[in-house]
Amino acid sequence: MSKINPGVLLVNLGTPDCPTRSAIRRYLRQFLSDKRVINIPYLIWWPILNGIILPLRSIYLSKMYISIWRNEGSPLLINTKHQRDALELALNIPVEIGMNYGNPSIKNSVYKLIKKGINRLIVLPLYPQFSSATVAAVWDNLSKVFKNYKSLPDICFIRDYADHPAYINALKICVERSFKQHGKPDILVVSYHGIPQRLVAEGDDYHQRCLDTTNALIKELGLTNKQFIITFQSRFGYEPWLTPYTDKTIQSLPSKGIKYIQVISPGFSSDCLETLEELDSRNRNFFMNSGGERFEYIPALNAESAHIDMMCQLVNQFL
């Protein structure tokens, strides 16, 4: 039996290469051309995408990306690189980053790992809660990458880790630290990225996995049902998405006597546009302008030691 030489591929959604309109258009074209993301017939969607969506969204999103961009680049990519470095140091095996859309691509990162001599590929999509629009899209992309390979490594694919004890513990540590630093809020808002309700009706268990995470976290924190609320953010298009919507909920809370909230978004493994601009900036303004008095955003797990420990536990089962 040949020696096992493992390597890890950390996969995240992706990011534009820079916050310019042209770079954002390239990124969005790839992202919104994936049928896992937008399931509309090509002949109908392609003219809409290129004639309306890309020109308008690239202008809109450019301003948002500029507001969060750092000297080193995209926060998502920076945070994921820190995760890779910490995981590689902890495991002492090769670890590469692959973005499902944009760079570094899954294709190039798999090639790097194969060139390093790995024969067992452990794929860890950094989506804690499974969805066909995210985790299954990674599987599709990986299948395309290996389509023309004459030999395949042993592939270990981690579906999700929504209620893994180490993941829940990492979230608990961050929430309790925030409570200790800022005081306990009137309500903890637990916000997840939304998906169309249609996907759930078709069998996607993402909504249930979000509930699994929330229930486990709330139990560990010892909160009552009146001390938290689960919401869904980042909807796109006109069809119904999972509710309640984060922005509308946050705007309504001050009128119900809730003046101090803390917000966490457990579905994002790294801080990015949706957490830094949408939650910590735009939704903060919604809350404060609606009569709120205090708003605290609890950062994503990023390269927290408890988060890296969780990744090690997920990977170690295949070593």
Do residue 217 and residue 234 come from a single domain?
yes
Do residue 170 and residue 149 come from a single domain?
no
Q: Confirm if 228 and 189 have CB atoms less than 8 A apart.
A: yes
Do residue 144 and residue 212 come from a single domain?
no
Query: Is there a domain that residue 129 lies in?
Result: yes
Q: Is 88 annotated as a binding residue?
A: no
Do residue 76 and residue 213 come from a single domain?
no
φ/ψ of residue 210, rounded to 5: -65, -40
Q: Which domain holds residue 28?
A: 6-161+307-316
Query: Is there a domain that residue 1 lies in?
Result: no
The whole-angstrom separation of Cα 116 and Cα 203 is 39
Do residue 144 and residue 244 come from a single domain?
no
* DSSP annotation of 87: H
Q: Strand (E) positions, 258-316?
A: 260-264, 294-298
Do residue 207 and residue 270 come from a single domain?
yes
The whole-angstrom separation of Cα 109 and Cα 90 is 20
Closest CA to 243 of 295, 186, 192: 192
| DSSP-based three-state secondary structure for 173 | helix
> Which pLDDT score is estimated for 237?
82
Q: Classify burial at 3, counting beta carbons within 10 Å of its beta carbon; exposed 0-12, middle 13-18, buried 19 or more.
A: exposed
Q: Is 72 annotated as a binding residue?
A: no
Query: Is there a domain that residue 179 lies in?
Result: yes
Q: Confirm if 33 and 49 have CB atoms less than 8 A apart.
A: yes
Predicted confidence pLDDT, tens digits, the chain (319 residues): 579 999 999 999 999 999 999 999 999 999 999 999 988 888 899 999 999 999 999 999 999 999 999 999 999 999 999 999 999 999 999 999 999 999 999 999 999 999 999 999 999 999 999 999 999 999 999 999 999 899 999 999 999 999 999 999 999 999 999 999 999 999 999 999 999 999 999 999 999 999 999 999 999 999 999 999 999 999 988 899 999 999 999 999 999 999 999 999 999 999 999 999 999 999 999 999 999 999 999 999 999 999 999 999 999 999 9
Query: Is there a domain that residue 60 lies in?
Result: yes
Do residue 97 and residue 231 come from a single domain?
no
Do residue 107 and residue 92 come from a single domain?
yes
CATH of the domain at 190: 3.40.50.1400
Hey, what are 186's tokens? 């009137």
Do residue 81 and residue 55 come from a single domain?
yes
Task: Give me the number of domains the chain comprises.
Answer: 2
Cis before 125? omega within 30: no
> Which pLDDT score is estimated for 265?
98
The whole-angstrom separation of Cα 25 and Cα 18 is 11
Do residue 202 and residue 221 come from a single domain?
yes
Q: Confirm if 265 and 230 have CB atoms less than 8 A apart.
A: no
Do residue 146 and residue 191 come from a single domain?
no
